[in-house]
């Protein structure tokens, strides 16, 4: 299956470089390029993109608002957003995840990593790694200005354990190893948690985990 990719960045050279890279992959196709957030939303609707590689800082409509519009559009329910960011704008990562992004990359990532990230997010997974990334998300979600949510009271104790491990960046196989489950059982738990919390993907589960306190400051 060919992954239909839409590139959104206000810098022409950046878009063209990404386009050349994406087109070099046999399983990907660039279906459009957008210089503004508003163009990204329009092209996502008309070009039938599977995934949008979205810059944050763009004129007309920034990448976060564009992501929010895409995520809120029922006609674009299958479109995933992979956000590009820089280390000097880390606070935008949480806003992007809240808006509906399924993952993020820094702009100086290696070419092979970008292609792998596109495949990961297009497959329905989230690009959220443990370590510095998790600590970064934790810092902003647990800050005094972060809005609180009601918490996952509807989850069982086992499901809360699984949710905490998802928030730490573990995949289904790793969760299974930690809890002594089969990978299929771990996957089933994750799917049920997403259903109970009406989460779009694993990225949204991370938001719930940190905002509700299932994962607490200093636990990673």
Residue 130 has what pLDDT? 47
Task: Quickly state the pLDDT bin for 149 (edges 50, 70, 90).
Answer: very low
pLDDT band, residue 141 (cuts 50/70/90): low
User: pLDDT value at position 219?
Assistant: 52
Please provide the average confidence, as pLDDT, over all residues in the chain: 83
User: pTM for the complete prediction?
Assistant: 0.71
Q: Name the band, by pLDDT with cuts 50, 70 and 90, for residue 179.
A: very high
Q: Give the residue-averaged pLDDT of 113-125.
A: 86
In angstroms, the CA 90 to CA 103 distance is 13
Q: Quote the pLDDT of residue 175.
A: 92
66-70, 140-144, 198-202: range with highest mean pLDDT: 66-70
**How would you classify residue 7: left for phi > 0, otherwise alpha for psi between -120 and 50, otherwise beta?**
beta
Instruction: Say whether pLDDT at 150 is over 50.
Output: no
Predicted pLDDT of residue 151: 59
- With cut-offs at 50, 70 and 90, classify the pLDDT of residue 172: confident
5 pLDDT more than 60:
yes
pLDDT attached to residue 132: 46
pLDDT value, residue 136: 57
Both structure tokens of 3: 């992954």
Give the confidence band of 88 by pLDDT, cuts at 50, 70, 90.
low
């Amino acid at each position: 299956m060919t992954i239909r990719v839409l590139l959104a960045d206000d810098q022409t050279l950046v878009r063209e470089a990404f386009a050349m890279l994406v087109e070099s992959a046999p399983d990907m196709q660039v279906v459009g390029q957008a210089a503004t957030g508003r163009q990204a939303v329009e092209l996502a609707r008309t070009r039938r993109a599977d995934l949008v590689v979205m810059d944050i800082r763009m004129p007309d409509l920034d990448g976060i608002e564009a992501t929010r519009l895409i995520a809120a559009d029922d006609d674009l329910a299958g479109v995933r957003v992979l956000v590009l960011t820089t280390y000097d704008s880390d606070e935008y990562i949480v806003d992007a995840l809240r808006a509906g992004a399924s993952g993020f990359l820094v702009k100086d990532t290696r070419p092979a990593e970008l292609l792998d990230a596109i495949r990961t997010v297009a497959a329905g997974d989230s690009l959220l790694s443990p370590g510095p990334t998790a600590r970064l998300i934790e810092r902003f979600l647990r800050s005094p200005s972060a809005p609180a949510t009601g918490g996952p009271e509807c989850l069982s104790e086992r499901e809360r354990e699984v949710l905490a491990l998802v928030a730490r960046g573990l995949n289904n196989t790793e969760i299974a190893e930690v809890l002594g489950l089969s990978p299929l059982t771990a996957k089933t738990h994750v799917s049920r948690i997403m259903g109970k919390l009406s989460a779009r993907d694993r990225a949204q589960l991370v938001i719930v985990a940190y905002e509700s306190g299932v994962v607490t400051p200093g636990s990673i």
